[in-house]
């Protein structure tokens, strides 16, 4: 980030412009952190509510959703309060609001995204899915066995009837 001082430009004006660029850069960094927290939230949501609901008997997912709603509302309010970065009053108000958002984002990452229980819940869900898949395969195998036996019996009965009928007609 740079601000070029122009020849014969008032130094105070150049410093003010450079400060405005730095402030704008800070706001952009705040927004990038907010976007990263949104990505973390989306990744957790993709995990599935049934998976996350086994953590803390559903309290984890409830608290996570509440935290995200709070972050989203605070972020929206901070963004709306930015105004002109050259205006000292608005800049401080917006910066103070973004500080709260950043604290909430850091808290979200620590409490939810980096929570060791998420990995455990994913492992539990994967194990449950393996068990369900194995049970389905056992049911399909049993169904196939029963279908094979029954169809073989039906074929044997039909063959016996056809043979008996042929024997009766031909006498052989």
Q: Are residues 21 and 83 in the same domain?
A: yes
Q: What is the DSSP letter of 112?
A: I
Q: Are residues 27 and 95 in the same domain?
A: yes
Residue matched to tokens 């019996």 = 153
| Range from 29-38, 84-93, 108-117 carrying the lowest mean pLDDT | 84-93
Q: Quick check: 30 and 99 in contact, CB under 8 A?
A: no
> Which of 141, 66, 144 lies closest to 108, judged by CA?
66
Q: Note the pLDDT of residue 166.
A: 78
Query: What is the span of the domain harbouring residue 38?
Result: 1-114
Q: Are residues 84 and 161 in the same domain?
A: no
Residue matched to tokens 């980096």 = 114
Average confidence (pLDDT) over 144-164: 90
CA distance 31 to 110: 18
Q: Note the pLDDT of residue 4.
A: 60
Domain boundary among 91, 114, 137: 114
Provide the CA 17 distance to its chain's centre, in angstroms. 40
Q: Are residues 68 and 146 in the same domain?
A: no
Q: What is the DSSP letter of 9?
A: -
Residue 85 pLDDT > 70 = no
Of 76 and 87, the structure prediction assigns the larger pLDDT to 76
Q: Quick check: 23 and 44 in contact, CB under 8 A?
A: no
- How many domains is the chain partitioned into structurally? 2
| The two structure tokens encoding residue 158 | 């039909």
Q: Note the pLDDT of residue 6.
A: 63
Q: In the structure, what pLDDT confidence band is assigned to residue 5 with cuts at 50, 70 and 90?
A: low
Q: Are residues 99 and 158 in the same domain?
A: no
Q: Are residues 110 and 132 in the same domain?
A: no
Residue 81's Cβ-count burial label (10 Å; 0-12, 13-18, 19+) is: middle
């Amino acid at each position: 980030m740079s601000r070029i001082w122009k020849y014969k430009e008032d130094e105070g004006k150049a410093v003010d412009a450079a400060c405005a660029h730095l402030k704008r850069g800070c706001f952009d960094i705040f927004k990038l952190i907010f976007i990263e927290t949104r990505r973390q939230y989306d990744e957790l949501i993709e995990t599935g509510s049934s998976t996350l609901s086994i953590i803390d008997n559903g309290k984890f997912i409830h608290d996570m959703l509440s935290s995200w709603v709070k972050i989203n509302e605070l972020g929206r309010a901070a963004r709306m309060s930015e105004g002109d970065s050259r205006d000292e009053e608005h800049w401080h108000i917006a910066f103070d609001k973004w500080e709260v958002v950043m604290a909430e984002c850091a808290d979200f990452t620590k409490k939810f995204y980096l929570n060791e229980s998420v990995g455990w819940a994913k492992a539990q869900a994967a194990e449950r899915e393996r068990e369900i898949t194995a049970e389905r395969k056992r049911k399909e195998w049993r169904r196939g066995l029963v279908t094979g036996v029954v169809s073989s019996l039906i074929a044997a009965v039909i063959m016996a009837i056809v043979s008996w009928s042929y024997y009766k007609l031909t006498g052989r």
